[in-house]
Structure 1
């Protein structure tokens, strides 16, 4: 049976503007700026804050770890709930704006408590409440914000452009908070309180500036003509696992996260012990990150030319090759390792960027098929795949290298133990990136099909809307 909407028909009757006539770049930059405070908080919360509270306030690492684990469990419940409630919200201010504003207030107050703590007030309960609040505020901003980012344009490639702006803004903020501690170490060595306060100032200052910019950048689209059915939360969450396209995207993102987290968790050990270049461990991580920021627009352009799914597959296969290349590096030789690190940075943004751009398309397909708009719920599931991916990476990679004989506290490790470290560091990410590419290969929701979906949605919404 012949298809009703062929590529030639699509070219002749393209329902959306070409990329050159798309969203205004300054408005896009303003909208994307809200990624800055959210991303800026991630690295300090995960790296600097636990050590600071342990060293300066005497909280045990076991207790801090338990609090962070509790946050992960809390997020697994709260994120889909926020997505569901945002989809159901109907106010004169829109569906997304009220959540972003309320979340910004909670996020900002919690950041003040965490990054500018009064020594007399700090206790395990203080840390737990402040940490849970900052993650709640972050989710209240980020999930509706991501859903809104998929709604400001229905154009297949414009959505990639929106996510690219957000990715570059967020990565740039992460780069800033990576550099800050290095600069402070040169001026005030070992002043952990100053480093924490400086990062807190970046987070809170950028929050105050970017929330108004983002909220004023675009008009929020009106809710769909067919309101979302108010199913019980349990049944709503069960929908996520019955959506085959969403399931493929999330499993692919899970595999990407496992690979990236395995590499991130072992890179210091690999550079320090296997390569014998301890003074380059932080520098190589920074190099990889800088080139990751540069890569965002490059992968966006690739996505414009060959489609999101093909770009994601290409990037994942490139990472497979890069990680396999690590098997051939020679200890003590910086040049080949530096080249592979730069290549890794240039390749690493492909999967994250394309997969997040694809979720809005999947939400459109779901709305056409079911009549239900669950964009925010769909975006909230990325927190589940990323958190699960990070947990699996840490839970497997570190015990595995230990089982293979590697000991970071030992004066020296055996050649077999170092070889085990190499195999886990190189092969682990290579395998997971290959799995990610396999999952997303042949993804059926391409540009032609998505354009037909958008055309039919607009026709249906126009028919259901009250006459002017």
Structure 2
């Protein structure tokens, strides 16, 4: 299947191209294409939509904030139930495909209403649109992540699958960041144009992406269950009691926490501490571009070192880069630029490896319990990232306010230094904690190979001979 991403871009020399179990790069790119509309809709949802709806459609910020808060809570509640439901689904189309297809339709229709509102917009109409938007979003995202872990049972192939998704997501996010900038150049201050451009990206990509994703790989038959059927609530409690999963969740929570603290404060640091407001958006884009290039680099490292060792290495690089920010002064913009480049190259290394590890942990759970709950495992993983994003905003902004920083007034040197310390030390501590949690993770390639052999032997024993 033709895509715009050549497979050579992701190619690693550590695994021969002649390996029959190696997944096609073209098919991986096609499978990952659903990340384009999902990511393109996700970025403006938290960054641009609230401001546009307030300025252009007259809704109060308090009302918009409440609606979006309730929407995110609804999204969080949906995640584990969607994971459990897709795990239990049995159809001639597979377990994951029906949810992705149905969710894609709901997502597409609700996105049109969200990005191209018609007539009078009210709090009720916005709440209804967000209700269906998050329903469609979750019905795509959770089964897709679970299916990603099922395309291949091989330890390193799962790293390749996660890499394709990470890079294509980053490209979609970069595009979504550029479109509002173009809108400002064409018609400054035109919020409706920004909304239309971002919504247009979602609209033109959703149907082709659905087609490519659903057709890229055959969905494997659901494993034969040997465990007793349990209520969803009991299953969720069982999954949350898995110590290996909790380590992965904690590590990913810390990664996302550090990234979000940095993202929430970078504009303030560049604008007020560095005194370079013209670079506030550009520096973020600069970091993003190098983040796209980093995915294949970390994949190659992961193929050589293993997943958890690579996650630790990436997090320690993040710690060093963020500690380096402590010596940045308003006169050393070049140093900040260099550290931002390094930050971009290290960005996402932990997320990439940890996402790949989740599927391995789900395999171990299936061997021990007899039930395949990959969808539920990935839903909990997704929920941890969303929680970290909310906590980071709730910590970083009040903290810099408490130390005296205020973007509306002339700040003292002490307040600006405090802003820099939070910007540097908050992510550094978070990434160090992530590395500590995942260090020495016992589920390595050798142990996972044993688990897969045992699962395959059990499957063969349970399937009656023809």
Q: Which residue of 1 aligns with 2:313?
A: 314
Task: Indicate yes or no: 2:347 matched with 1:348.
Answer: yes
Tell me the equivalent position of 1:226. 225
Which one of 441, 463, 466 corresponds to residue 465 of structure 1? 463
Shift of 1:19: 6.6
Map residues 43-192 of structure 1 onto 2, 5 A cutoff.
43-120=43-120, 122-192=121-191
Structure 1 segment 202-281 matched on structure 2, within 5 A: 202-226=201-225, 229-281=228-280
Q: 1:227 to 1:66 in 2, by over 3 A?
A: farther
Residue 72 of structure 1: CA displacement?
Answer: 2.0
Q: CA deviation at 1:227?
A: 5.8
Shift of 1:29: 1.0
Unpaired segments of 5 or more residues in structure 2? 1-14
In structure 1, the residue matched to 2:388 is 389
Unaligned runs of 5+ in 1: 1-16
Q: Once the two structures are superposed, what CA deviation does each residue of 1:161-210 show, in whole Å capped at 9, x if it has no partner?
A: 01101111111111111111112221222222111111111112111111
**Bigger shift: residues 416-425 or 232-241:** 232-241
CA distance in 1 between counterparts of 2:454 and 2:206 reads 38
Quote the residue 1:449 is aligned against: 447
Measure how far apart 1:241 and its partner are.
2.1
Partner of 2:9: none
Aligned partners of 2:55 and 2:191 also within 8 Å: no
Tell me the TM-score normalised to structure 2 length. Answer: 0.95
Mapped partners of 1:18, 1:236: distance in 2: 40
Deviation at 1:240, TM superposition (A): 2.5
State the alpha-carbon separation in 2 of the partners of residues 185 and 92 from structure 1: 49
May I ask how many residue pairs the two structures share in their alignment? Answer: 450
Q: Normalising by the residue count of structure 1, what TM-score does the alignment of the two structures yield?
A: 0.94
Q: Deviations over 1:107-140 (max 9, x none)?
A: 00110000010132x1101111111211111110
In structure 1, what is the Cα distance between the partners aligned to 2:315 and 2:343? 10
Partners of 1:288 and 1:342 within 8 A in 2: yes
- How much does 1:75 deviate? 1.8
Deviation at 1:333, TM superposition (A): 2.5
CA displacement at 1:225 relative to structure 2: 1.5
Paired residues of 2:227 and 2:369 also in contact (CA < 8 A): no
Moved more, 449-458 or 327-336: 327-336
Q: Distance in 1 between matches of 2:382 and 2:449?
A: 28
Kindly indicate whether the alpha-carbon contact (under 8 Å) linking 1:228 and 1:373 is maintained by their aligned counterparts in 2: no
3-state SS of 1:119 partner = coil
